[in-house]
Amino acid sequence: MSAVKTYSEQIIVYIKDAILTGKLHPGDKVNEVVVATELSISRAPVREALQMLVKEGLITSIPQRGKFITALTAKQIKDSYFTGGVLEGAAVASTIDKFTVQDFQKLEAVVGEMKKVADCGENGTSMAELDDRFHDILFSKNENELIGELARRSCQGISKFLLFRYWKKLFTLQGIYERHKMLLDVLLTKDCVAIEKTLREHYIESGDRMARYGVDVLEDEDA
């Protein structure tokens, strides 16, 4: 049983890497036999891994047709970012009083690294990693597991992941730095209303820009 689980986890990493590198795109069919053959393993752990990814929302299972990398419409992308912003804004606003001097110093350090990346003109990979680190710190005081799970699933876990290759096209490196510097400045005020509003708007703007990469219409599952 443990071996099957280990294989399943490896397959999940393999498929996620294929999405990030562009080998698999939203709407592509994921064939159990092909994956099993490529990895030289049986189909059982592949089937289990795909079911786990269905639960995560990264794969869509269509009866009689198979499993596909999830494709999102422009509206779904906007909705997912709006939801993520609402949830993160509420989570951070309700826990901001728990942030210590050290927590703010961590945030300042991340923003400082963002400025270095922007000034050096590095590619967007480093900035994406810093963006994730920044928002992980914001969630570090949240003890409501449901809010954390839903927030990550809504935009970071699905939209941002599935459309990662477009992420660095949304804003310039300087723009990404400036947006997070603005967030930091608001966080330092500890003004709950301002924090919630600013985080919500931060995500809405990202969703509006990312929506251009959504599919026009999702195919009818019964087609």
Using the predicted structure, report yes or no on whether residue 221 has a pLDDT greater than 50.
no
Mean pLDDT of the chain: 88
pLDDT at 223: 41
CA 67 to CA 75: how far, in whole Å?
22
End-to-end CA, the chain: 37
pLDDT at 5: 57
Using the predicted structure, report yes or no on whether residue 123 has a pLDDT greater than 90.
no
Dig out the tokens for 154 from the structure.
Answer: 């809504």
2-69 CATH, one of 1.10.10.10, 3.40.50.300, 1.20.1250.20, 1.10.10.1100: 1.10.10.10
Alpha helices in 59-191 (DSSP H): 74-95, 101-120, 124-138, 145-151, 160-162, 164-170, 173-189
Per-residue pLDDT tens digits for 81-121: 999 999 999 999 999 999 999 999 999 999 999 999 999 88
pLDDT at 24: 92
Task: State whether residue 194 is helix, strand or coil.
Answer: helix
pLDDT at 157: 61
CA distances from 212 to 25, 77, 125 (A): 16, 9, 21
Using the predicted structure, report yes or no on whether residue 20 has a pLDDT greater than 90.
no
Dig out the tokens for 174 from the structure.
Answer: 């300087």
pLDDT at 55: 85
Q: How confident is the model at residue 125 (pLDDT cuts 50, 70, 90)?
A: low
Evaluate whether 77 touches 204 at the Cβ level (below 8 Å): no
Using the predicted structure, report yes or no on whether residue 31 has a pLDDT greater than 70.
yes
pLDDT at 1: 44
Q: How confident is the model at residue 206 (pLDDT cuts 50, 70, 90)?
A: very high
Residue in 33, 212, 161, 87 with CA at minimum distance from that of residue 95:
87
Per-residue pLDDT tens digits for 133-177: 999 999 999 999 888 888 877 775 677 778 887 877 888 999 999
Q: Which of 36-50, 103-117, 206-220 shows the lowest per-residue confidence on average (mean pLDDT)? A: 206-220
Task: Give the position of tokens 């994921």.
Answer: 30
Q: Edge-to-edge strand order for the sheet containing 59-62?
A: 29-30, 66-69, 59-62
Q: Which fold has domain 74-213?
A: Four Helix Bundle (Hemerythrin (Met), subunit A) (1.20.120)
Measured in residues, the chain has a length of 223
Per-residue pLDDT tens digits for 63-81: 989 999 999 899 999 998 9
Residue at 223: amino acid letter: A
CA 133 to CA 128: how far, in whole Å?
9
Domain ranges of the chain: 2-69, 74-213
Q: Average of pLDDT values for 25-45?
A: 92
Using the predicted structure, report yes or no on whether residue 191 has a pLDDT greater than 70.
yes
Dig out the tokens for 36 from the structure.
Answer: 């099993």
